[in-house]
């Protein structure tokens, strides 16, 4: 989709929040798909659902620790491997929103299948799609779209998980070719992929800025890549996850994606693109769980009543629904921004990933609890879904690292904005309090929540300024401070998305027709406002030092440091 919006309109929605600014013009209207896009999506979803009914058995896939070959072949025939590939390369050319909605659908069918699909479409082929030459795309993209070739993304190593700069796999020149040596770890689709997006240090290629030189390669398995034994995993057992071994793997010069030495930036672009898909996986699974919870708690009776009538069960159902509604609004606001032409969505995608993965973990935990003893057995899907859900908070950037990234970027924006001041007056003024931005224009029923959002943004600017004033350049090392700021901005972005969508629905259906939307919007906004306040309050916790001292004592003694009387 080509956008005619101004560069200012297309900039990040999250970064200005740290400055106390709200770019409401980018929120209105909430993004929606065109009729043609919706029709194509519905057709693909229907075809996949019909295929799944006959061929995809989540319990069998979990027990077999593999997706059957006939399932992979059938999904290829349906065009699943080409949904994100442009039409000029024989793909379906789906928009970001269409593709992510399909991710949500896949997650309602099984836990391993969407991981396999994302390993191919959101990270496996994204580097060549975004940064490849015309010749590289012409050579590979049609075969990737058809499923003739299946892709994987190879970045992580034993000593390089969150710290991608610590890569030890190397690529050295040998005439016109390159020789790759080293190991990769936890590679999704690694057991069966035909081509790999590989990131390696290129130690002989110095960068002008002195940073480690990392280069991206698109490597065929036939070059000599060895897949080692499949990992025995807690969850998503049906997905292929293996270490890779490179021993003098020879690849030609035209295997390089982008510029030599610029691979780290490519890796970050690819991961940003993958996080909304992962968030949608969590959204789809969460919706399935809520449906199961609602049915089970209506059927299960205790003391002569369905347990859904008891407030402690209602509390679980209500908070799950509010969080999942907020997640849905966030995910499709973010994908809509991409489809409108926004390039700077790294923070938005990171927040979706954090909130999506943690929401699913909370929902599946509540679902197990509502099911009681049945939730702990393999007769019901809860235990499998719980196992599948746990990894989401780890891969494609751990939630801890993403929180630090969000806060570091936001504080960098604030610091740059204040850099023009010759005194500390501007920072001091923000520390004392920031003026709240004008509220988003919303229906009358949500005006209180729009005002709460504006006040929360002012609080974020104040707490961000206070963190800079207190810690200066060392603020990045204060990880609890950084995480609290990230949690504030996450809750604010959620409120922005919820209010934007509610406004659209009310305008389309009227307040009476949008009663359910308004109920969820009010509940989600107030839950998120409370979350933002709790994060801000944690920055003033006088006892946080006790927590850190206790942690140090545990690390020193490698046990709970108690002494028996």
Task: Give 276-319 as a DSSP string.
Answer: HHHHHHHHHHHHHHHHHHHHHHHH-EETTEEGGGSHHHHHHHHH
Residue 257 has pLDDT above 80, yes or no: yes
| Domain shared by 250 and 279, yes or no | no
Q: Do 382 and 289 belong together in one domain?
A: yes
What Rg do the C-alpha atoms of the chain give, in angstroms? 24
Across the chain, mean pLDDT equals 94
Q: Indicate if 281 and 251 belong to the same structural domain.
A: no
| 463-510 pLDDT tens trace | 999 999 999 999 999 999 999 999 999 999 999 999 999 999 999 999
User: Which sequence positions are flagged as catalytic?
Assistant: 396
Three-state DSSP state, 9: coil
Tell me whether residue 402 is in a domain. Answer: no
CB atoms within 10 A of CB 154: 27
Q: Three-state secondary structure along 154-194?
A: ECCECCECCCHHHCCCEEEEECCEEEEEEEEEEEECCCCCC
Q: What pLDDT is attached to residue 274? A: 85
Q: 14 lies in a domain?
A: no
Distance CA 218, CA 221 (A): 10
- Kindly indicate the confidence band of residue 2, based on its pLDDT and cuts at 50, 70 and 90: very low
For 118-134, how does the pLDDT look when each residue is reduced to its tens digit (9 = 90+)? 999 999 999 999 999 99
Give residue 1's pLDDT band: very low, low, confident or very high (50, 70, 90).
very low
- Domain boundary, last residue among 235, 262, 289: 262
Does residue 506 share a domain with residue 443? yes
Whether 220 shows a pLDDT value over 90: the answer reads: yes
Residue 484 domain-assigned (yes or no): yes
Instruction: Say whether both 275 and 384 belong to one domain.
Output: yes
365 compared with 160, residue with greater pLDDT: 365
Residue 400 lies in a domain: no
Question: What's the length of the chain?
Answer: 565
The answer to whether 314 and 306 are in contact (CB under 8 A) is no
Q: The domain spanning residue 274 has which CATH number?
A: 1.20.140.10
Three-state SS at 70: helix
CB 82 within 8 Å of CB 147: yes
> Are 369 and 429 contained in the same domain?
no
The answer to whether residue 412 sits within a structural domain is no
- Contact assessment for residue 506 and residue 520, using Cβ atoms and an 8 Å cutoff: no
Three-state secondary structure readout of 85-107: CCHHHCCCCCCHHHHHHHHHHHH
Same domain, 314 and 369: yes
Residue 562 forms part of a structural domain: no
Domain count of the chain? 4
Assess whether 489 and 433 both reside in one domain.
yes
Spatial separation of the C-alpha atoms in residues 318 and 311, rounded to whole Å = 10
Residue 462 has a pLDDT of 95
317 lies in the same domain as 288: yes
Domain hosting 243: range is: 152-262
Do 133 and 174 lie in one domain? The reply is no
Which of the four pLDDT bands, split at 50, 70 and 90, describes residue 4?
Answer: very low
User: Which SS3 state, helix, strand or coil, does residue 343 take?
Assistant: coil
Distances (CA, A) of 258 to 131, 137, 217, 255: 5, 12, 9, 10
Q: Under 8 Å CB-to-CB from 401, ≥6 apart: which residues?
A: 162
Q: What CATH code is carried by the domain that includes residue 46?
A: 1.10.540.10
pLDDT bracket for residue 540 (50, 70, 90): very high
What pLDDT is recorded for position 420? 66
Give yes or no for residue 422 having a pLDDT over 70: no
Residue 52 lies inside a defined structural domain of this protein: yes
Residues 430 and 542 in one domain: yes
Q: Are residues 44 and 70 in the same domain?
A: yes
Instruction: Look at the block and give the residue holding tokens 């030092």.
Output: 545
Q: Rounded to an integer, what distance in angstroms lies between the CA atom of residue 19 and that of residue 140?
A: 44
- 344-355 average pLDDT score: 96
Instruction: Give me the pLDDT at residue 425, please.
Output: 73
Count helices and strands in the chain by DSSP H and E runs: 17, 10
Is pLDDT at 423 greater than 80 in this prediction?
A: no
9 pLDDT band (50/70/90 cuts)? low
Band of pLDDT at residue 7, cut at 50, 70 and 90: very low
pLDDT tens per residue, range 36-63: 999 999 999 999 999 999 999 999 999 9
**pLDDT(234) > 70:** yes
**Side-chain half-sphere exposure of 463, counting CA atoms within 13 A:** 28
**Structural domain ending residue among the three candidates 393, 413, 432:** 393
* CB-based contact 457:19 (threshold 8 Å): no
Q: In the listed set 262, 280, 315, which residue is the last one of a domain according to the structure?
A: 262
Which pLDDT value is given to residue 564?
76
Q: Is residue 352 part of a domain?
A: yes
| pLDDT > 90 fraction of the chain, expressed in percent and rounded | 89
């Amino acid at each position: 989709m080509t956008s005619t919006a101004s560069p200012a309109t297309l900039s990040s929605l999250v970064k200005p929040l740290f400055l106390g600014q709200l770019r409401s013009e980018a929120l209105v209207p909430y993004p929606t798909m065109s009729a043609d896009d919706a029709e194509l999506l519905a057709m693909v979803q229907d075809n996949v659902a019909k295929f799944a009914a006959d061929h995809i058995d989540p319990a069998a896939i979990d027990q077999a620790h593999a997706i059957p070959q006939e399932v992979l072949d059938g999904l290829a025939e349906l065009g699943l491997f080409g949904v994100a590939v442009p039409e000029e390369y024989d793909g379906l050319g789906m928009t970001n929103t269409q593709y992510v909605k399909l991710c949500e659908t896949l997650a309602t069918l099984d836990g391993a299948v969407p991981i396999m699909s994302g390993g191919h479409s959101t990270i496996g082929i994204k580097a060549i799609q975004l940064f490849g030459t015309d010749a590289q795309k012409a050579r590979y993209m049609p075969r990737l779209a058809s499923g003739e070739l299946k892709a994987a993304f190879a970045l992580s190593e034993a000593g390089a998980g969150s710290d991608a700069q610590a890569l030890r796999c190397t690529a050295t020149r040998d005439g016109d070719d390159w020789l790759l040596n080293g190991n990769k770890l936890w590679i999704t689709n690694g057991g069966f992929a035909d081509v790999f997006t590989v990131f390696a240090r290129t130690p002989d290629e110095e960068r002008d800025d002195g940073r480690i030189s990392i280069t991206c390669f698109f490597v065929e398995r036939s070059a000599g890549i060895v897949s080692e034994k499949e990992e025995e995993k807690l969850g998503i057992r049906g997905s292929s996850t293996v270490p890779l071994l490179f021993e003098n793997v020879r690849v030609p010069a035209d295997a390089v994606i982008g510029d030599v030495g610029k691979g780290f930036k490519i890796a970050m672009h690819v991961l940003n693109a993958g996080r909304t898909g992962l968030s949608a996986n969590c959204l789809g699974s969460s919706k399935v769980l809520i449906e199961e919870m609602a049915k089970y708690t209506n059927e299960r009776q205790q003391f002569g009543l369905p347990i859904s009538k008891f407030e402690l069960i209602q509390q679980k159902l209500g908070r799950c629904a509010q969080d999942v509604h907020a997640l849905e609004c966030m995910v499709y606001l973010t994908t809509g921004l991409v489809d409108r032409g926004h390039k700077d969505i790294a923070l938005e995608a990171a927040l979706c990933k954090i909130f999506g993965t943690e929401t699913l973990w909370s929902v599946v935990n509540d679902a197990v609890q509502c099911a009681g003893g049945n939730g702990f057995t393999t007769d019901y899907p809860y235990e499998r879904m719980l196992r599948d859900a746990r990894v989401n908070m780890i891969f494609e950037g751990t939630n801890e690292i993403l929180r630090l990234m969000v806060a570091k970027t936001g504080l960098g924006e604030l610091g740059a904005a204040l850099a023009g001041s010759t005194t500390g007056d501007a920072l001091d003024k923000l520390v004392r309090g920031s003026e709240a931005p004008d509220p988003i224009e919303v229906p009358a029923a949500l005006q209180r929540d729009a005002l709460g959002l504006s006040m929360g943004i002012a609080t974020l600017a104040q707490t961000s300024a206070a963190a800079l004033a207190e810690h200066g350049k060392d603020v990045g090392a204060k990880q609890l401070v950084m995480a609290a700021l990230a949690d504030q901005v996450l809750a604010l972005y959620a409120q922005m998305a919820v209010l934007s969508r509610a406004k659209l629905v009310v305008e389309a259906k009227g307040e009476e027709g949008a009663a359910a939307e308004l109920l969820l919007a009010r509940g989600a906004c107030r839950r998120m406002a409370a979350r933002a306040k709790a994060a801000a309050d944690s920055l003033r916790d006088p006892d946080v030092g006790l927590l850190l001292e206790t942690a140090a004592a545990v690390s020193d003694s490698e046990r709970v440091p108690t002494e028996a009387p």
